[in-house]
Structures are given as structure tokens and as C-alpha cells.
Structure 1
């Protein structure tokens, strides 16, 4: 049984006239009649009662019509999805991120994506940086967002910077330095620091140490945490202070944030993917994300001028 048999049968069943069905299918009548008889012989039941060119469905034919339409519909959808997937207009993408970065752009990007490409399904996975990169390598993640220092020496990944974020010091409101507008690194020599756990983001952790040492202090690290929210909670509790990317201010409003001098370099945040991933849908999403950040950057420059 071939799809052609089903298409011929459905046309004949809907027209209930072999001549009209042949016209609809743009085929001659004898081959159409022969194909339907072949189908009946293969199934082993009569699908039509025939009266000249006029047809009437048998009970078996009526039931077969329901299923034949479903098969043709599913086949058509499968072909459409295959073509759309090859063109990058369908598929599934798993995007990993660490809050609050994802909230800065993913809702807007996914909203635009759903309007333009409704057949691309996106799953959002919140993960710490090391877990994101492991997910990429294990084919459990398609796109990740981590600091550039975490991936710039890796050979398995492609990456592109989407944003560069400044670094500020987070302090509890009653801290002795909270009233300062800017805080020299020298004033932090005896402060207790809370940092990201090295096992979670080793390169970012080491970057923090290098920044402090290049400013002339050896940081006293008293606590390490997996996530930004945990670091901020510890700062709010008075356990210590933290040097953090300034976009993390979205989490905690009651803390005091101050620039430090000399000012640390900005931290490039990259979107990261496997070099061997040829997904067209992934390329489309990467392009949309870059466009989003470029528009945001241009808008920011416009406001400043």
C-alpha cells in the first residue's frame, strides 16, 4: 500500500463519483479505478458499492476513510516539519543560562521567535556555568551563556560576546564603606569576601583573585556559593562583601552597590555552542539574540546622547 492509493481512495470517497475524482486528481479514469481495486484486494474488503460511475462507501470504507485522512494529514505534517527543520524554521532548542542574565533578554527573544517561527520550541534550563558547558558537551544543551573566561581556551565550542558587564562591590547598608561614592581597593584589604564557588565557575573565580591581586590586595575569602542569589543573601546577612557583575543588582535592591578604584575590566558574557552543531534553528536564534543586544546597545547610546 502506498500513499498514492490513499490519496486516490480519499478523492473517490469524497466525490462519490469516479469521473469527478479522476478530474480532481488530474488522472485518467481507468488507472484510478484500477488503483482503488488494488487497494481493496490488498485490504481484503470492499470499500465501495459501485453503480456505474457512482460510488457509495461501505461501512468498512467509511471507517477506512477516517483513518486514511489521518494518515495523509500526519504524512503532510511530517513532510512540512522536515522541510521547516531543514530550513531552520522548526525544531527544539535547549538554552541554558544563569539568572538574572536570562531575564535581561530571553523573554523578548523568545516572544519574537514564537511570532516568526512558531514551530521552533525552546526549553530554558537554569544552570551554573560549569554545568552549562558540560551540558553542551553531552548534547543536553544547545546554547549556553557564560563569562568569556570560562570558554576562551576551549576548542570544542564556538562563542560570541553578547554583552560586557561592569563590576561593582556589593555591601550591606550598614557597612562602614557604604557612604562612600567610590571605594579604593586598598580599603578592602581586610574585608571578608564572598565569591562564586570555584567548582562552579573556575575561570571566573580565578579572575576575581587576579583582579584583587593586580589592585594590590590579597582577598580574604570566607565563603563561596554556587549562585549569585546566595552570594547576595550572605552579603545582606553581613557575612562579607562581594565583587559582582553589575547586572546582578536586579536581584537585591536593599544592598548598597559601589564602584571600586582602580576600576576592574568589564566582563564579556558570551553565548556558546558546539562547533559541530549544524542546526539551522540554532543559527536563527543566535542571530536574533545578537540583534537584540545590538538594538539594546544602540538604544543605550541614544539615551546617553
Structure 2
């Protein structure tokens, strides 16, 4: 049984007349009659009684009528669902992020904008370090990932700039320099640094060490912290000092102060990574949201100038 046979059957059943049904369908009356006869032969039952003024449904026809409407509705829904999936409006998007990226307000703002634009797409979120997220991308376990690539590029990966985020010094509140509004990094020479281990966050770790070297000293690596929130906690406990992305200053832990870096620009790059080979509409839609947000920010910056 083909869908066109169901449509022909419904047209005849609703019109009660083959000629009027043929006009409604835009086909000739003889071909329509032949199609109805073919459907009856295929099903092995008579669907219509022929009368002098048209046709009426048999019991078999009445039974088919309700199911035929449902079948057509289901077919139309299947087409609609396929079209929505093809446009990236349904399904699931697997999104990764580093712990430090999660604190940047651009990340939740972009996720919120995507969810508002595509409410039919479910989001699966995975936290990991940059190396893990890149591996997950390559394996297909992630579609996109917010990460800190430094100045590097990666084979098979497209990077979309989100922000060059400035860094801040974080000090224990009782530190002799804690009252300063701005400090040169050189002022931290000889201090013990609380950092995330390089294997956990290689890019951020290297950026901090590189900034210290640029300021003229080799940082003394002290207590390690498993994640950024732990860095702040350990600084509060006076295990040492640290440097963190400015967005981490949202962590208003008791016993720490955040101080601007003076005399040099210390920034960390936040980017969104995707597979170059990814042709998914869902991925393309998320990237379109990112581009739209960035272009809106650019317009706002121009307007404010």
C-alpha cells in the first residue's frame, strides 16, 4: 500500500463521489477509479459501495477511514521531523568546556542564546582539560568545545575566537601587597605559586609561566590545585599566590583579593573548537549563534565609541 493510495481513498471517502474526488486531486476520473480498485484488490476487501449518485463506505471502508487519516498525519509528521532534523532543530549537541572557560560570562550567554533559538535540541555538557576535549572532538564524542588553545592551532580542528581574556593576580587577603589596586608581575618574584598541574591544564599553566618569565623571573611552583576553584581556595589558605583569568574573580572566596596586572598585557585566549569535517546542521547553528553574538558585540562597541 502506497501513501498516494491512502490519499486517493480519503478523497473519495470525503467527497462521496469519484468524479468530485478526481477534480479535488487534479487527476482524471478513470485513473482514480482504477487506483481505488487496485487498492481494494491489494487489501482483499471492498471499500466502497457504488450507488447511483456516487459511493458510500463499506464496513471495511469505515474501519480504514480512521486509520488512513492517522497514517497520513504520521507521514506528514515524519516528513516534518526529518526536515527539522535536517535544519538542526532537533537532536542532541555534545558540548565540552574547560573549567576556566566555564567562568567566562560569554560561555553561558552563548549556550543560553542557542537554547532559546533551538529549544528542540538537547545539550550534553562535558568538562575536561584542553587535551581531553580535543581528543573527544576527534573521536566524535563532542561536537564543539570551549577551550584555551593559547597561540596554537590543531590539525583537523577549526577554532573560533570568543575572547582574549585578561588575567588577574590573586593574593591572600593578608599578603603585604593585597591593598594594591595594580601590581607588576615582577612583584611576585620569589613567591610560591599555586597552579593547576600542567597535565591538567597545559595551556593555562604555560601561559602563566610564560608571563612570569616575560616579567623577568621563574615562578616558584608550590602547592598544586586540581581546578581553578581550588586555586582560589588554596590562595585563601595562604599556600601562595596565583594568576587566573579575570572571569574567575567571580569566585568571591573569603580571604582572597584580586589585583590587576600592571606594566604588561597578560591575556589568555578563549576559543570554540569544532571538527573541520563536521557537516552537522546543529553544529552550524551553534556557530551561527556565536557569529551573531560577536557581530552584535562589535556593533555595540562601535556604537559606544
TM-score, length-normalised on structure 2?
Answer: 0.84
- State how far apart, in whole Å, the 2-side matches of 1:51 and 1:108 are: 67
Higher mean Cα deviation, 26-35 or 41-50? 41-50
SS of aligned partner of 1:149: coil
**Structure 1 gap ranges (5+):** none
Partner of 1:267: 268
SS of structure 2 residue aligned to 1:229 = helix
- Whether contact under 8 Å (1:136, 1:143) holds in the other structure is yes
Aligned residue for 2:47?
47
Specify whether residues 106 and 73 from structure 1 end up closer, same or farther in structure 2 by C-alpha distance, changes over 3 A only: farther
Structure 1 partner of 2:131: 130
The 8 Å contact of residues 11 and 21 in structure 2, kept in 1 or not, is answered as yes
In structure 2, runs of 5+ residues without a counterpart are none
String of CA shifts for 1:202-234, please: whole Å, max 9, x gaps. 232222222222222222223333432232232
Gap change, CA 1:106 and 1:149, over 3 Å in 2: closer
RMSD of Structure 2 on Structure 1 (CA): 2.9
* CA spacing shift, 1:239–1:21, aligned 2, 3 Å: farther
Bigger Cα displacement from structure 2, 272-281 vs 226-235: 226-235
- Aligned equivalents of 2:22 and 2:244: distance in 1? 73
Aligned residues of 1:18 and 1:55 also touching (Cα < 8 A) = no
Summarize the alignment of residues 125-274 of structure 1 with structure 2, pairs less than 5 Å apart. Answer: 125-128=125-128, 129-149=130-150, 152-252=152-252, 254=254, 255-274=256-275
- Looking at structure 2, the residues matched to 97 and 55 of structure 1 have their Cα atoms a distance apart, in angstroms, of 64
What's the counterpart of residue 292 of structure 2?
291
Compared with structure 1, are the counterparts of its residues 250 and 297 closer, same or farther at alpha carbon in structure 2 (3 Å cutoff)?
Answer: farther
2:162 partner SS: strand
TM-score, structure 1 length as denominator?
Answer: 0.84
User: Number of matched residues?
Assistant: 301
Structure 1 stretches of at least 4 aligned residues deviating more than 6 Å after TM superposition: none
Tell me how far 1:163 sits from its aligned partner: 0.9
Task: Tell me if structure 2 keeps the 8 A contact 1:172–1:178.
Answer: yes
Cα distance between partner residues in 1 of 2:251 and 2:7: 59
Corresponding residue for residue 72 of structure 2: 72
Secondary structure of 1:259's counterpart equals: strand
Q: CA deviation at 1:3?
A: 1.6
Moved more, 98-107 or 156-165: 98-107
User: Structure 1 residues 251, 27: closer, same or farther in 2, change over 3 A?
Assistant: farther
CA shift in 2, pair 1:213/1:108, >3 Å: closer
The secondary structure found in structure 2 opposite 1:212 is helix
Asked if structure 2 preserves the Cα contact closer than 8 Å seen for 1:162 and 1:290, the reply is no
